[in-house]
């Protein structure tokens, strides 16, 4: 396994932005307008209608990074360890996603998924099936649902799977059927969250605005310098800039750091250099397909992932087949770990967006993708593949590092706030797949289980 260097940058590494006294106060500040940030903001507006909730997003619209560059799959909650946040939040988020789609007329389809296997991979399927039988309903699940299995799956015989997907390779002899998997129009989903925030009493979306500095705020030390603010609680001074505008500082009583690919950078600005957390980046390419060999496909098809020594699909679920809501076929993502550019050795925080230059689809990935796909759909032709788009995944561990769960980290502006569990900054770290599926459950956990206890 090759070595990949992690990025350990922080906000304002260059020292360009000097401290500014806050000019206003906000109860909840969400940094990052991807699907998770939107879900948290929407939940806060709903749960605390009389309080102010601001979401700050550096791009001109929501979901411009990881949230708009994924498979748009509603995952069933199959792959991860039983006691992990990824499992519980995916299971809960899956059900919340279907409920919201139905209630808000968001386009979706519960297609179901086949995890397909060759003869020597059948034990892996059997392990997944056995694990699905052990899964328990996650927190906040309705009592009425708990008489059913939280994740129904079925091991299919070769005849059964061939009847469902006749284009599969003859080497594929078994499959695990997961009926709870589906697809969603992620942009319509995000639009519905935006609408709720905009129409709420205290919610506000602030686009094209970047957080550039973060400082702990102690009311006892700061009251003299900011008499107009004179906050009754401690909190965080968040400095932002907008293109063509002057810098602006506000006091946030609570922060939810949901900035995805920049989340560690935000957190690192509070940490000494020797304790900074590195971020690793994995590039995933997608290809559209128009051609023979898959014309009858009507379900999502996932190969058994390469598990290696870890005996689990921790890094990637393999180059799988997904459908969009119009029935068009897409393959991907593959996985390509990204090396830091040489400028990062002596660079500044501005170099931290090096990954944006890697978003152009690269046709050199197609031969390997074709090889992976034809292992289970041999009739797919290379000529029918076309590079589509690329997504970047935030990773907290390097290649071969094993399983990394979603990480919720709590930081406080001072010891007194920590002792009383008030005014936290909640950093949501490593939110990659199944982040879209889990988004509403992540919001539920942040608001109901964490912030509700501090208010």
pTM attached to this predicted model: 0.94
Element spanning 186, H or E: helix 186-199
Q: What tens digit of pLDDT does each residue of 31-82 get? A: 999 999 999 999 999 999 999 999 999 999 999 999 999 999 999 999 999 9
Q: What tens digit of pLDDT does each residue of 153-202 get? A: 999 999 999 999 999 999 999 999 999 999 999 999 999 999 999 999 99
Out of 79-93, 204-218, 226-240, 302-316, least confident range: 302-316
Residue 438 has pLDDT above 80, yes or no: yes
Q: What tens digit of pLDDT does each residue of 350-381 get? A: 678 888 988 999 899 999 999 999 999 999 99
Q: Quick one: CATH architecture of 24-450?
A: 3-Layer(bba) Sandwich (3.50)
| Sequence-ordered list of residues with C-beta below 8 angstroms from that of 255, at least 6 positions apart, any chain | 28, 29, 30, 31, 214, 236, 238, 424, 425, 426
Question: At which residue do the structure tokens 């994924």 appear?
Answer: 70
Residue 203 has pLDDT above 50, yes or no: yes
Out of 10-14, 203-207, 231-235, 274-278, least confident range: 231-235
pLDDT at 44: 98
| Sequence-ordered list of residues with C-beta below 8 angstroms from that of 100, at least 6 positions apart, any chain | 106, 189, 192, 440
- Provide the 10 A C-beta neighbour count for residue 221: 11
According to DSSP, the β-strands at 248-257 and 235-242 are antiparallel
Select the more confidently predicted residue: 224 or 62. 62
Instruction: Give the residue extent of every domain in the chain.
Output: 24-450
The secondary structure of 124-168, three-state, reads HHHHHHHHHHHCCCCCCCCHHHHHCCCCCCEEECHHHHHHHCCCC
Please, what is the average pLDDT of the chain?
Answer: 91
Q: Over range 215-238, report the average pLDDT.
A: 70
| Sequence-ordered list of residues with C-beta below 8 angstroms from that of 347, at least 6 positions apart, any chain | 9, 341
Which is nearest to 359 in space by CA: 292, 262, 284?
284
Integer Cα distance of 124 and 78 in angstroms? 12
CA angle 63, 344, 212 (to 5 degrees): 50
Instruction: Characterize 16-35 residue by residue with b for buried, 16 or more Cβ atoms within 10 angstroms of its Cβ, and e for exposed.
Output: eeeeeebeebbbbbbbbbbb
Residue 229 has pLDDT above 70, yes or no: no
Select the more confidently predicted residue: 91 or 228. 91
Contact criterion met (CB below 8 Å) for 230 and 223: yes
- Provide the 10 A C-beta neighbour count for residue 163: 10
Residue 308 has pLDDT above 50, yes or no: no
Cis peptide before 78 (omega within 30 of 0): no
Instruction: Characterize 132-161 residue by residue with b for buried, 16 or more Cβ atoms within 10 angstroms of its Cβ, and e for exposed.
Output: beebebbeebeeeeeeeebbebebbeeeeb
Integer Cα distance of 249 and 255 in angstroms? 14
Residue 309 has pLDDT above 80, yes or no: no
Residue 384 is given by DSSP the state G
Contact criterion met (CB below 8 Å) for 251 and 25: yes
Residue 312 has pLDDT above 50, yes or no: no
pLDDT at 452: 77
Q: What is the CA radius of gyration of the chain?
A: 23
Residue 200 is given by DSSP the state S
In DSSP terms, which residues pair with 73 in a beta bridge?
Answer: 183
Cis peptide before 428 (omega within 30 of 0): no
| Sequence-ordered list of residues with C-beta below 8 angstroms from that of 182, at least 6 positions apart, any chain | 73, 74, 98, 108, 109, 110, 111, 112
pLDDT range class, residue 2, cuts 50, 70, 90: low
Residue 61 is given by DSSP the state S
Select the more confidently predicted residue: 169 or 218. 169
Q: What tens digit of pLDDT does each residue of 105-150 get? A: 999 999 999 999 999 999 999 999 999 999 999 999 999 888 899 9
Select the more confidently predicted residue: 305 or 411. 411
Contact criterion met (CB below 8 Å) for 428 and 263: yes
Out of 3-7, 163-167, 246-250, 269-273, least confident range: 3-7
Which is nearest to 316 in space by CA: 333, 292, 340?
333
Which is nearest to 74 in space by CA: 157, 137, 151, 170?
151
* Alpha helices for 223-346 (secondary structure H): 263-268
Longest dimension (CA), the chain: 77
């Amino acid at each position: 396994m090759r070595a990949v260097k992690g990025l350990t940058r922080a906000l304002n590494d260059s020292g360009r932005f000097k401290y500014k006294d806050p000019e206003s106060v906000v109860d909840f500040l969400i940094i990052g307008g991807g699907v998770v940030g939107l879900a948290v903001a929407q939940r806060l507006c709903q749960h605390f209608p009389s309080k102010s909730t601001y979401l700050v997003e550096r791009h001109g619209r929501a979901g411009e990074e990881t949230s708009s560059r994924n498979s748009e799959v509603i995952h069933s909650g199959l792959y991860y360890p039983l006691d992990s946040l990824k499992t519980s939040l995916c299971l809960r988020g899956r059900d919340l996603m279907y409920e919201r789609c139905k209630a808000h007329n968001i386009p979706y389809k519960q297609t179901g998924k086949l995890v397909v296997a060759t003869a020597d991979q059948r034990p892996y399927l059997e392990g997944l099936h056995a694990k699905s039988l052990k899964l328990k309903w996650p927190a906040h699940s309705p009592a009425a649902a708990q008489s059913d299995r939280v994740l129904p799956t079925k091991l299919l015989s070769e005849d059964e799977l061939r009847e469902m997907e006749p284009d599969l390779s003859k080497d594929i002899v078994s499959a695990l059927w997961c009926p709870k998997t589906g697809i969603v129009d992620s942009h319509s989903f995000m639009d519905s969250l935006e609408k709720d925030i905009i129409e709420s009493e205290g919610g506000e979306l602030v686009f094209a605005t970047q957080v550039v500095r973060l400082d702990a705020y102690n009311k006892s030390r700061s009251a003299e310098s900011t008499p107009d603010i004179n906050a009754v609680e401690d909190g965080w001074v968040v400095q932002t800039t907008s293109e063509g505008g002057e810098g602006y500082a506000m006091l946030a009583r609570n922060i939810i750091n949901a900035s995805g690919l920049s989340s560690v950078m935000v957190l690192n600005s509070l940490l000494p250099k020797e304790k900074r957390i590195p971020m690793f980046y994995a590039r995933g390419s997608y290809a559209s397909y128009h051609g023979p060999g898959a014309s009858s496909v009507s379900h999502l098809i996932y190969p058994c992932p390469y598990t290696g020594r870890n005996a689990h699909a921790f890094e990637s679920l393999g180059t799988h087949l997904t459908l969009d809501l119009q029935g068009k076929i897409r393959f991907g993502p593959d996985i390509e770990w990204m090396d830091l550019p040489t400028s990062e050795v002596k660079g500044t925080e501005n170099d931290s967006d090096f990954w944006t230059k890697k978003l152009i689809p690269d046709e050199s990935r197609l031969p390997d993708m074709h090889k992976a796909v034809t292992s289970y759909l041999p009739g797919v032709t290379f000529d029918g593949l076309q590079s589509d788009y690329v997504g970047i995944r935030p990773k907290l561990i390097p290649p071969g590092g094993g399983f990394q769960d979603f990480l919720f980290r709590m930081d406080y502006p001072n010891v007194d706030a920590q002792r009383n569990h008030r005014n936290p900054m909640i950093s949501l770290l490593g939110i990659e797949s199944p982040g879209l599926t889990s988004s509403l459950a992540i919001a539920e956990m942040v608001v109901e289980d964490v912030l509700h206890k501090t208010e």
